[in-house]
Amino acid sequence: MTRRILSIALDTPLDTEFDYRWAGSAADEAEPQCGQFALVPFGRREAVGLIVAVKDDTDVDSGRLRDVIAVRRQLAPVQPDWIALCRFAADYYQRPLGEVVLPCVPKNLRTNTTVALERALKKLAQARPAAMPADAVSQRPTLNEEQQAAVDAIIAGTGFQAHLLFGVTGSGKTEVYLNAAECLLEREREAGRPAQVLILVPEINLTPQLETSVRGRFPQLQVVTLHSQLAEGERLRNWIAAHHGQAQIVLGTRLAVLASLPALKMIIVDEEHDPSYKQQEGLRYSARDLAVWRAHQQRVPVVLGSATPSVESWLHAGSGRYRKLALTQRAAAAAQLPRVGLIDMEVNKAPDGISPPLVAALRERLARGEQSLLFLNRRGYAPVLHCDACGWISNCRRCTAFMVLHKPERRLRCHHCSLELRVPVSCPTCGNVDLQPLGRGTQRVEECLHGLFPDARVLRIDADSTRRKGSAQAAFDSVHRGEVDILLGTQMVAKGHDFQRLTLVGVLNPDTALFSQDYRAGERLFAQLMQVAGRAGRAGGAMRSDVLIQTRYPQHPLYRALMAHDYAGFAESTLAERRAAGLPPFIHQALLRAEAKTLQAALDFLASARELVSHEGVTLNEPVPMTITRVAGVERAQLLLESPSRPRLQAFLRQWMHALRATKSRLRWSLEVDPVDI
Ligand code: ADP
Ligand code: ZN
Ligand code: ZN
């Protein structure tokens, strides 16, 4: 019986793998393999880690190593490619391997018992793929020429190719995904090879239509979903189904890009520009970027779909690194893109936030029995409560932010630290009872709509109205059933819904994003407005639809491009500005953030971090307070790094992180590579 030494990656900030001894127990027990999970003692507790190397025990000193407690043999080992993917993510985002590998597997796999694992395996062994009821099996439209050309291009190649599927809203991108997936799976089946397709979506819960379409189209295949809102048991079962290759289609949010998929043959990233592909805590990865890397690693095609691609992807499509496939028309018969008009708010005064032309447009829709959507990206009743007498305003005492008035709940809420107070009956400083709400959120617009159209059925959808599980779905269903005349909401309503009777979209107060100090705000606003505008006029027929944007800057180039449905023009001018200003994607960035009790401590930490390692070819800017400096009583500062060379930045970061960890500072800090919110 040979003894072995196992190198194990564990979920700890220590940037190393840990050696354990495997003494070999029962004679018939197979030797542990690389890629298996194992339970080991770690400090005073037990932890599950991943075996990343198995070595001969020739070391006389190995006696001081601790023994492995148990190897999870029930589960097939993960493949070397999957470990390589995690290792790439770990290196690129400057984290220890264990902090990538363990958080991305289901929690129930990381516990010190195997009860959940065994239960999941048993259930999976019993499960037969559920047959779809006949009416759920979807109709398939005949592809139009552009769709067919896109499908042909995607399945034509062998090996890696990134495709940018640039299709206007309603152009039928979903049909392209489904047909490409179908052709590819069919081809692999005929060749007798196992195959899996990964489909990434920004948010499954907001857009269940895609899941329905996928299941409807592939009733004979096993389709599983992977996202953070699944119950733990189901998440584990789905993860294992993917890992064992049983699930041929895996539909998931960003975390699914790190699923174990031994037979991966294609990746689809729907709405590739969406900010939710960026993880904002822990391993701050971009699922879109990892999807492209993974497709390259597996030598398979990846399809990035959007009506408003990220300017990074647009740049790659321009340079030929990605292949551009365009869908220029709406797919459904006679469906047209909506007319986009601007309402000049310097001319049209709107005391309640809805201008007379918009009121008139809403009235027309009500008269014709059509639906309208109002988009305002600000929840609550008013962003601030204010005392005219003494100047008091509703500051959060724990954050550099205002507390938002939530009138129906009679609460002041901080959206940053979630502090909640009852609305004061009088001014806390001077006693004035006449406190004024300043500005406007969705609740206030809802109130105003009830006043303007007492007979209309108004529905508000935002994070507050949909707190209960399933309530968002129920709300959207009632819109689809035609039980709502005016839908009002935040970005939650902008995502991929196919509302059939919607002929008017009104946009309230989008101007603030035009002057944001975040250089990506314009790009994001354009995408958001294009997407919300895309909810209108999807059915076609005689219903001509309008998008009306209330703005004080009707001459702004962003709105001009939007009126012309000219994403390409907008992207080109944005890229030209970024190039001139030396901003991404023409430069590479990383951001070091520090948190402390005092701002000075955070700034001092960053200042000393700046001096740690020489940094030729990398610019380290002055440390500065973050825009919202204090959140929940913690002061926050950041240091921006820039380099024209990605490899140089990467090499510097590796050294720098090493030096920073060695300082053993007690202060909380984190690094983000390719940051999106600066
Ligand atoms: P996108 O994702 O590009 O915004 P969808 O995939 O939601 O667009 O498609 C919009 C609508 O067009 C859907 O109702 C879909 O069923 C329909 N559609 C797609 N392709 C065709 C086609 N070739 N012929 C007719 N209708 C189609
Ligand atoms: Zn006062
Ligand atoms: Zn707060």
pLDDT of residue 538: 77
- Ligand nearest to the backbone CA of 393: 2
**pLDDT digits 0-9 by tens, 391-419:** 999 999 999 999 999 999 999 999 999 89
| Residue 623 pLDDT > 80 | yes
**pLDDT digits 0-9 by tens, 198-233:** 999 998 877 778 888 999 999 999 999 999 989 999
Q: Which atom of ligand 1 is nearest to the CA of 270?
A: 2
Rounded distance between C-alpha atoms, residue 332 and residue 329, angstroms: 9
Rounded distance between C-alpha atoms, residue 360 and residue 368, angstroms: 13
pLDDT of residue 64: 85
Q: Which helix H or strand E contains 550, and what residues bound it?
A: strand 546-551
The residues with which 613 forms a beta bridge, in sequence order, are none
| Residue 133 pLDDT > 60 | no
pLDDT of residue 158: 87
The rounded Å distance from CA 390 to ligand 2 centre is 4
- Ligand nearest to the backbone CA of 424: 2
pLDDT of residue 654: 95
- Ligand nearest to the backbone CA of 632: 3
Type of residue at 658 = H
- The set of residues, in sequence order, having a beta carbon less than 8 Å from that of 217 and lying 6+ positions away, is 137, 138, 140, 178, 182
Nearest Cα neighbor of 406 from 465, 328, 350, 474 is 465
- Measured between alpha carbons, how far is residue 187 from residues 149, 218, 497 in Å? 18, 15, 32
3-state secondary structure of 451: helix
Tokens of 320: 């030929």
Range picked from 55-69, 470-484, 539-553 for highest mean pLDDT: 470-484
| Residue 388 pLDDT > 70 | yes
Rounded distance between C-alpha atoms, residue 98 and residue 100, angstroms: 5
| Residue 132 pLDDT > 70 | no
> pLDDT-based confidence at 27, cuts 50/70/90?
low
**pLDDT digits 0-9 by tens, 575-593:** 999 999 999 999 999 999 9
Nearest CA to ligand 1 atom 25: 332
The rounded Å distance from CA 168 to ligand 1 centre is 11
The rounded Å distance from CA 538 to ligand 1 centre is 9
> pLDDT-based confidence at 50, cuts 50/70/90?
very high
The residues with which 314 forms a beta bridge, in sequence order, are none
Nearest CA to ligand 1 atom 5: 172
Which of 462 and 63 is assigned the larger pLDDT?
462
> pLDDT-based confidence at 384, cuts 50/70/90?
very high
As a whole-number percent, the residues of the chain with pLDDT over 90 amount to 82
Average pLDDT rounded to a whole number, residues 237-257 = 96
- Measured between alpha carbons, how far is residue 495 from residues 31, 73, 201, 504 in Å? 50, 42, 11, 16
The rounded Å distance from CA 419 to ligand 3 centre is 6
Rounded distance between C-alpha atoms, residue 275 and residue 84, angstroms: 26
Q: Which atom of ligand 1 is nearest to the CA of 534?
A: 4
Tokens of 436: 């004024």
Tokens of 289: 């970027």
pLDDT of residue 128: 67
| Residue 678 pLDDT > 80 | no
Prediction pTM value: 0.95
Long-range CB contacts (within 8 A, 24+) of 17-24: 17/52, 17/53, 17/97, 17/98, 18/42, 18/49, 19/62, 19/65, 20/65, 20/66, 20/67, 20/68, 21/57, 21/62, 21/65, 21/66, 21/67, 21/68, 22/67, 22/68, 22/71, 23/67
Tokens of 595: 């948190």
Residue list, ligand 1 pocket, CB within 6 Å: 141-144, 147, 167, 169-175, 331-332, 498
Nearest CA to ligand 1 atom 4: 170
- The set of residues, in sequence order, having a beta carbon less than 8 Å from that of 485 and lying 6+ positions away, is 365, 366, 371, 372, 453, 456, 457, 458
Q: Which atom of ligand 1 is nearest to the CA of 213?
A: 16
Average pLDDT rounded to a whole number, residues 81-91 = 98
Nearest Cα neighbor of 479 from 497, 462, 452, 506 is 497
pLDDT of residue 205: 74
Pair 230, 469: CB distance under 8 Å? no
| Residue 288 pLDDT > 80 | yes
Pair 325, 166: CB distance under 8 Å? yes
The rounded Å distance from CA 404 to ligand 3 centre is 10
pLDDT of residue 542: 60
Average pLDDT rounded to a whole number, residues 599-618 = 94
pLDDT of residue 333: 78
Peptide bond preceding 585 in cis form (omega within 30 of 0) = yes
pLDDT of residue 26: 61
- If you average pLDDT over every residue of the chain, what do you get? 93
The rounded Å distance from CA 30 to ligand 2 centre is 76
Name the phi and psi angles at 251, rounded to 5: -115, 120
**Backbone angle region of 37, left / alpha / beta, with phi > 0 → left and psi within -120 to 50 → alpha:** beta
Nearest Cα neighbor of 416 from 630, 671, 638 is 630
**pLDDT digits 0-9 by tens, 347-365:** 998 888 999 999 999 999 9
Tokens of 518: 């975040």
**pLDDT digits 0-9 by tens, 155-174:** 998 899 999 999 999 999 99
- Measured between alpha carbons, how far is residue 287 from residues 110, 199, 304, 352, 540 in Å? 23, 12, 12, 41, 35
Instruction: For the chain, give the number of residues.
Output: 678
**pLDDT digits 0-9 by tens, 432-484:** 999 999 999 999 999 999 999 999 999 999 999 998 888 888 999 999 999 99
Average pLDDT rounded to a whole number, residues 545-549 = 95
Nearest CA to ligand 1 atom 23: 143
Nearest Cα neighbor of 628 from 422, 414, 458 is 414
The rounded Å distance from CA 565 to ligand 3 centre is 39
Q: Which atom of ligand 1 is nearest to the CA of 171?
A: 3
Which of 520 and 209 is assigned the larger pLDDT?
520
3-state secondary structure of 255: helix
